[in-house]
Every structure is written in structure tokens, then in C-alpha cells.
Structure 1
Amino acid sequence: MDEATPPGPVPRRSLVTGATGLLGGNITAQLLDAGGEVTALVRDADRARRLLPDHPRLRIGVGDVTDPAAYTPLLAGCDTVFHTAAYFREYYETGADLRVLERVNVASLHPLLRAAEDAGVSAFVHTSSVNVLATTGPDSPADEETPPPRRYRGLDRSLDYPSSKVRAEEAVREYARTCSMRVPIVLPGWMWGPGDAGPTSAGRLLQAVAAGRMRAVPALGNYVVDARDVAAACVRAAGPGGGGRYVVAGTRHRLRDLTAAVAAETGTAAPREVPVPAALGVVALMEGLARLRGTEPPATRTGLAVLREGDGRNITSARAQRELGTAFRPMERTIADEVAWYRAHGILPGPSGASVPR
């Protein structure tokens, strides 16, 4: 059992949306480890069976968060919903479909919340992002009371991933004002860790460094958090007394230090740090080559813009640490476990008989 597995009672029966994702998979594993029953809402049953534990208390439910007819029957008997499903491909694909972004991240929420309440669910844990917090400067860290960036206030449609998470939070808080469920909201930092099968932008960066395809990184930093620590916070937030918002940002790290740790773990050359304008040119070239080859780039200008904004952030996770007992493991441990997970699943070369970190 991972040390992040929440102590004490856990929800008896939970529905986890996005259960094959980085966060959803770790929530599912921790709930099962702690004795809970889990229904995993997934779009691909075969993929779910490959990625999720082979466990007698795990049920696979095929469906989509935009289709109430698919997930409503799965809510019967559940006391908790962990909502982690989201559309975020715009971070590393050009021409993202903003209609899909709005439909998945925002429009699907009210029907899902209503179905959960009608089924008698007592706690609905919604996953947001620290990207919904305005930057506050070095003397005043952003926390649960920090408003969204000014450009994302009062929007009637999503313009990008961060704005969709702002609109999603608005929808969740509006519903929570009058519903019978507790609806805590967890705001993770940039998540890394084992189970990133997608992969997310973090997993793509790790794999690019491990393959020697990332020669330089911008002189930027961001808040990095292990997905297992976020999962533990989500499970604890679902417990009695959990409510409101919880920032689970992790700790600040320079990209050069993150990629150097990946290089040390995989035996490759560490990327050098370059000024942001130079990195922007490199990333644009990566995007162009990926289009020609019909592949996806390891980084995009959209993702670089998010990192650039994150470089100026000052965030505190004090409330989650105080009320949920949240703790953050060392970044080197997270990266070592993520590399081991990729090797165990044949995604990176290396020892295949090692145990799979969870």
C-alpha cells in the first residue's frame, strides 16, 4: 500500500470518472487498497482492464461523462463521486476542438451533479486546477480565496483549458449552493507520477527526455505535485467535514531540475536551460515537424504559455496540509516511480520485472 493511501474510513462505494487517467487511476487504486468498492467510468473497457488493478471490488462501467444514460445506472448504491474526467488535449495538439472542451469540461457537469444527487450520493469531489487562480505576486500567495485571472471572468464560453476549468468551478459552486451533497473542489498543481498512460504533458516531457528528444528546456518553473498525493487529498476531502476548495499545488521546481532528474533516472543527457524566446522557437519547430510526420509534439506553444504563466505563481497548499493532512513526496521519488511504471508497462526500455509503483 502506498503511504499516501488515506488512513481511516473511506467511501464504501464510489464512482470515479476518468478512471484510466493519471489522477483517476490513482484514486481508484487508493480506494481499493483501503477497502472500498469502485465503479470506474471509462470509454474503453479493454484499456481499463490493462491499466486498472485486477480487483474483485472493481467494476468497469463503459460510458462518457457527456452521456447521462450511460452513467446514471452506475450511480446506484454509490455514496461518493470522484470527478476527474476532462478534455485537455489542447496542451499538445494544435486546432483543439473548443466545442468538445466546453461540452466535456463544463456542459456535462450539471447533468452529472443532478444524477449523483438523485442517486443519493453524499459527496461529489470535483477536480479543478491551480490554473484557475490569478497570479498574486511574491508577497501574497494564492489560496482558496483567490479569484480567477481577470481575462477568464464572466465568460459565456470556454476559450482554452484554464478558462474551461474556471467555468466548471462556477457551475459546480452554483449547483452546490442548493444541493444536498457535499461538493469539495480540489485544485492540483502540475501532476506527475506513475499511471500517466495518456500521457499528459508531464508524461510527454518525461518520455521525450528519456528518448533524448528534448535537448533544451525554457528557463521556467512551476508547481509540481505527485498524482498520488492529489489522489489522497481527494479521498480525504470526500470524508465527513470535507468541503469548499483545497489547493494541492505541490512544490515549485525549475524545469531544468525536473528534466535533470529524468535524465539521471533514465541514463540520458540532461537538456540545457535556454531563454524563453529561444524555447518558443524550438517548440514551434517541434509542432511543425510533428504535423509533417503525423505525430504529436512533445511540447506546444500553448503548453509553453501555460508554463510561462505558472513561472510567476506563488501558491500555498496550507489549508489542504492542515485540514486533510496532505503531504508532498520528493520530486525525485515521483520521477523514479514514474520511470519505473513506464518501464514495467513497456513504454520505456529497461527492467521489466520490477514491481509497479502505485
Structure 2
Amino acid sequence: MLLVTGASGFLGAHVVAEAIQRGRAVRAGMRRSSDRSRLDALAPQAQTAWLDLDDSATLDAALAGCTAIIHCAAYGVDYRQSDFYTALETNVAATMRLAEAAASRGVRLVHVGTSYEYGTQDGLLAEDRVLSPTGIYGVTKAAGTLAVQDFARRTGADCTVLRPFSMYGPLEGTHKIVAAAMRASLAGEMLDLSPGAQERDYLYVADVAAACIDVATAATFPRGEILNICSGEGLSLRALLTAAAQAVGGNEGVFRWGAKAYRPAESMRVVGDPARIAKVLRWRATTSLAEGMAATARWELERLQREGESS
């Protein structure tokens, strides 16, 4: 049995769906207050485990019979979540309570970190790069990773850390750039953007979900490892959003490239080194940009249709 925390979130819901597709027993861990619309769309048959990492009773119930946890729950990836102390509690303290509970039961912990832990460094980023995070999300996620690593070293607990790079895919928040670009191109609404030459390591979310399941169920668990989930290839923002508009049959002319300046200290190339995960798990990203955008477009068009019917 796998437990996925943050199962109502973008990545968490896709991890649950991937586990079910593989025939794995899985519990979708989430707070009672969570919006489970993503999960209802991707994996409506998923077994829900009401989970609050501050509440030992819900944690005990969620962990019963589990062999591995994929810890996707986090605070701050949405820029609208901006309280430092909530980020510190969620991304560090609650993560450590989960790690301790897992270790006491002999359960594997796959802690999902983020490429934001590297900060604004340019170049090909390997797992041994010195961390230089910025912002509350990057800083607290890096602290969570360091705490999990230290705990594993001290106790021998089965913990590993995954660092996904930039994700896109079905049912991402509508404030995120791919969904926003698709919607703007369909509506004919102008979208002010930077010049768009910055490159990122973009991944289709189902590829990331597959890596999470691969690690959690590996015959030999990579205890103590940090593994980038990345392609090793850079793609410009301009190319990404052009593909998004084309996938929905929208108007690329709405993108006002250069209407905004690059962010202060903007990194022009942030790409992960996939060598370690390829060696440890023989994992690689397999979904092409065209395939990923086509699937994302289908879901986005359906979501727009539902919104129109309910308005």
C-alpha cells in the first residue's frame, strides 16, 4: 500500500492516478478541507485517507499497512501562498513528523523536493550543486531536504529525496503559465510576457509521477539519495507557450513578448542533470513536448467547457 500526501494537489493527484493505473494499492492523503476536484477527474476511484500531519490519529490511520509514502504535500509552490511560518511548519516540521512516523513503522519515505532548492543558478544542475534557494518556498523546501537527509543518516531510516524540475500538464492551476497561455490564446486576450528566451527543464507531469512510483516501489530502495527528476534538456519559455497555443488551436498573437522585463537576477538556463536517476533507476522522461501539450490541451478544453456550462 502506498500513501500519497498532498493528493489533492497537481502532482499528488497524478501520482495517485499513476499508482492506480499500475494496479498498485494507494491511499490519497489529504485534509478534509482540500478540494479533491483534480483527484475526482484523474482517479475518482481513489481511496481517500483524511490526513493532518499535526494529528497523530489521522497519521496512524493513514499509515496502517503502508509500505511507502510519497510526500507531495507542500506550501508555497503557489506564489499566492506567502506566509513564511506556515511554509516552515509545513515543509520542515510536518515533514519531519512524517519521517519519524514512517521510520518507526519501517515504511519508506519518498520526499518530493524541488529544483527551487538550487535557487537561481545557471547551467546543468547536478545533485551535488551547493544549494542557494531564494523565496520562502525554495528556502523551506531546501531546509526540509536537509532535515530528511540528516534524519536518514542519523537513524538509518529509508528516506530518499526527489527534485522535480519545471512541470506542466493536465489540471495545473489556471494561474500557472501553460494554462494561462492556453486560455489567453483561445480568448484573444493579450498576455504580457518577458522576452521569453529563458530556458527551463520542462517535464510532463505524468513522467514525474512515474518516477515517484518507480522510486517508492524499487526492488532496491535508494536510501539517502537525492535524485533530480529532469530531462537534461532546456526549452525556452517562448517555445513552451507557442506549443501551448498551437495545441489548443489558439492565437499566438496574444503573447506580447518583451512587454515585461526579466525578473531581477533571472537565470537564463536552469536545466537538471539526469545522470544519477538514470543510473540508479534507469528512469528517463519519455513524453515529448507535442504529446504532453496535446494531452494538456484536451483536459484544458474540457475544463473550459465545464466552466462554461456551470456559469
TM-score bracket, normalised by the shorter chain, equals 0.7 to 0.9
Q: Determine the C-alpha separation between the residues in 1 that align with 2:295 and 2:138.
A: 28
Counterpart residue identity of residue 168, structure 1: G
Q: Determine the C-alpha separation between the residues in 1 that align with 2:71 and 2:163.
A: 12
User: Is the partner of 1:113 in helix, strand or coil?
Assistant: helix
> Mean Cα displacement is larger for which, 20-29 or 183-192?
20-29
Residue number among 248, 256, 259 corresponding to 2:229 in the alignment = 248
Checking the alignment, whether the CA contact within 8 Å between 1:66 and 1:103 is kept in structure 2 is: no
Residue number among 280, 283, 294 corresponding to 1:323 in the alignment = 280
- CA deviation map 1:246-285 (0-9, x unaligned): 111233111111111111122222144634xx414xxxxx
Checking the alignment, whether the CA contact within 8 Å between 1:184 and 1:245 is kept in structure 2 is: yes
- CA deviation map 1:274-308 (0-9, x unaligned): 34xx414xxxxxxxxxxxxxxxxxxxx9xx569x3
Q: Determine the C-alpha separation between the residues in 2 that align with 1:333 and 1:15.
A: 29
Is residue 59 of structure 2 the alignment partner of residue 71 of structure 1?
yes
Counterpart residue identity of residue 330, structure 1: S
Aligned to 1:41: 29
TM-score (norm 1): 0.74
What is the Cα deviation at residue 20 of structure 1? Answer: 1.9
Is residue 310 of structure 2 the alignment partner of residue 334 of structure 1?
no
Checking the alignment, whether the CA contact within 8 Å between 2:184 and 2:191 is kept in structure 1 is: no
Cα 1:52/1:264, change in 2 over 3 Å? closer
Counterpart residue identity of residue 290, structure 2: E
What is the Cα deviation at residue 326 of structure 1? Answer: 2.2
Residue number among 139, 142, 162 corresponding to 1:163 in the alignment = 139
Is residue 155 of structure 2 the alignment partner of residue 143 of structure 1?
no
Aligned residues: 298
Aligned to 1:106: 92
User: Is the partner of 1:64 in helix, strand or coil?
Assistant: coil
Q: What is the Cα-based RMSD across aligned positions, in Å? A: 2.8
Checking the alignment, whether the CA contact within 8 Å between 2:185 and 2:245 is kept in structure 1 is: yes
What is the Cα deviation at residue 242 of structure 1? Answer: 3.3
Checking the alignment, whether the CA contact within 8 Å between 1:126 and 1:184 is kept in structure 2 is: yes
User: Is the partner of 1:35 in helix, strand or coil?
Assistant: coil
User: Is the partner of 2:295 in helix, strand or coil?
Assistant: helix
Counterpart residue identity of residue 243, structure 2: A
Q: Determine the C-alpha separation between the residues in 2 that align with 1:216 and 1:265.
A: 20
Aligned to 1:293: none
- CA deviation map 1:211-265 (0-9, x unaligned): 4435342232211011111111111112132320111123311111111111112
Percentage of pairs with the same residue: 25
Residue number among 48, 68, 74 corresponding to 1:60 in the alignment = 48
Cα 1:305/1:253, change in 2 over 3 Å? farther
Q: Determine the C-alpha separation between the residues in 1 that align with 2:276 and 2:62.
A: 33
- CA deviation map 1:81-115 (0-9, x unaligned): 00001112552x3x821121111111211111111
What is the Cα deviation at residue 137 of structure 1? Answer: 5.0
Checking the alignment, whether the CA contact within 8 Å between 2:181 and 2:244 is kept in structure 1 is: no
Unpaired runs of 5+ residues, structure 1, are 1-12, 153-158, 281-300, 351-358
Aligned to 1:125: 110
Q: Determine the C-alpha separation between the residues in 2 that align with 1:211 and 1:24.
A: 30
